[in-house]
Amino acid sequence: MVDASKAKEVRQDNIETLLEWLRTFKGFHNKLALKAADDAGRGLFAYSQAITPGEPILVIPAASLLNPLTLAKSPLNSIPAHLFPAPATASPRRSPNGTPSLTTTQLLTLHLALTRDPLKRHKSEWQVFIDTLPEFRPLHPLTWVVPDPDNKAPDAFWPALEQCLSESVRVKIDAVRRRYEADKELLRHVLATEEPFKTQNLGNLISDETLLWAWLNVNTRTVSTPLGLAEPSTSKWTVNNHSFVPLLDMINHTSLPGTECPKPEPMPSTSVTKRGARGAARPGKQHLVPGKVDVVLFAPHRGLEDGEQVLFLYGAHSNATLFAEYGFTEIDLGVSPLTWPNDDIDVGPWVEALWREDGNDAKKEALEDAGMWNHNRLAANGGEPCPSVGLMTTLCVLASPDDAVFTPHNMHARNFSRPTKMAARRMLRRICESVLADAADCREDLDEVARSAGKDQEKVFAVSVVRGLLREEEVITSSILEMVQGGSSIPGF
């Protein structure tokens, strides 16, 4: 068993080494100090000195970023060039073995995994940074559904806790799991068929647990950056134009309304401009050259007070999404979930059940053409809960006669008859009742699982997170059910 205080000391040593390493890069600029926060539950906070509005507080030079462009130039790189993602101006690559080029997500996962070669044949110029990357088991929910095959005595607590999550949260975790499994399958193929990995027997030496650790770090800690790489036409999110940005990845997240966060912006690297970071103006897009773009963090317009924590807004994500993707939430059990403006519940599983009863392909195609398929949410809506437009439109289409004609225009205009809208409201009521029943069942199961947590701090913390997610669903769903039962209007429906 590793002593927790000792682990923190090692981590702080790694941070100091990281700062020393970053200082070796031209253009590195830092006005932040890193301090441990025992009550945060997720590592280190970044704190600032008193800083004036708009002042650059952190500049991470392009050469220190870890991405396909910098990795390709590294003399220590051991990944064959044909596996790198292609520039947007080039044709896709394939290896002689038929392996397609990797995405940046897959490539960086492979690079991190190679640094854990038991025989230490693969080195990284970013090892100092890699040494600061966290472990994710057991608190990230993906580790609850992806067991460690090398663990001969797995703890049954974690999969049991996953079963206590609501259906809407479990669907999100399963989507993350499917992405991971697809990437792992391709990387297993690479390790088994591509040189030098095949000859080195790395397919057997690099464990699934190592691939999971590497993939989760890429999925949770990289930042979108302009790399000039082609994105797959089928991808719904960026899989190629993102980078590890050392130090920046240690800043924590907030979604509190009214919080003014600093924003990272790309700027021409000091390697292609004579102006230093301290006097840099706001970035000019015409000067951004892929691979020569520094990441600069400017202070917000109000400035920053001495000792104030620097926070990021990851995006308009619900707590369920933050949990499934990043492994944390911002739920305070003492505060109403409705104070979090981005909270919502994905009720796709319940809509699918209704669709199996009365849906058809023509109606689905009409919703897809209008961009409204699979947008089924019960939203906190900044404290005024309501169903999403996509959900209500889907229910109206579902309630319409089979011979009804739909166009994107009449769906966006919500041109549905009153009987159709009333039928949609009845469906919405059924959905809300089902969501609440599911949450009640989960809460009952959670009470039983919680007893087995004992005094284990990680388990007690994880139980509180699951309890908070269930409470969030109950508060939002109950509010919308009361709206429907009371005959209150739903805007547009």
* Secondary structure element (H or E) that encloses residue 168, with its range: helix 167-193
Yes or no: say if 319 and 327 are a contact pair by the CB < 8 Å rule.
no
Closest residue by Cα to residue 204 from 119, 106, 322, 321: 119
Work out the number of other CB atoms within 10 angstroms of the CB of residue 4: 9
User: How wide is the angle at C-alpha 389 spanned by C-alphas 388 and 394, nearest 5°?
Assistant: 100
For the segment 202-210, the average pLDDT, to the nearest whole number, is 97
Single-letter amino acid code for the residue at 170 = R
DSSP string for 241-292? SEEE-TTGGGSEE---TT----EEEEEE-TTT-SS-GGG--S--GGG--TT-
In eight-state DSSP terms, residue 165 is S
pLDDT at 7 over 50: no
pTM: 0.89
Q: Is pLDDT above 80 for 15?
A: yes
Residue 310 confidence (pLDDT):
83
What pairing do the DSSP bridges indicate for beta strands 222-224 and 242-244?
Answer: antiparallel
* pLDDT digits 0-9 by tens, 107-135: 999 999 999 999 999 999 999 999 999 99
What is the distance between the alpha carbons of residues 473 and 45, in angstroms, rounded to a whole number? 29
Condensed to tens digits (0 to 9), the pLDDT of residues 407-422 reads: 888 888 888 999 999 9
pLDDT at 276: 38
Beta bridge partner(s), residue 344: 379
Q: What is the pLDDT of residues 155-166, one digit of tens each?
A: 999 999 999 999
pLDDT class for 106, splitting at 50, 70, 90?
very high
DSSP 282-332: S--GGG--TT-EEEEEEPPTT-B-TTPBPEE---S--HHHHHHHHS-----
Report d(CA 493, CA 476) in Å as an integer: 19
Question: Residue 59: pLDDT above 90?
Answer: yes
Q: 233 Cβ partners below 8 Å, 6+ apart? A: none
Among positive and negative, which fits the CA dihedral 164, 166, 167, 173? negative
Write down the domain spans for the chain: 66-244, 331-485
* Bridge partners, residue 34, by sequence: 46
Question: Taking the CB of residue 32, how many other CB atoms lie within 10 A of it?
Answer: 21
Query: Cα(147)–Cα(207) distance, rounded to whole angstroms?
Result: 12
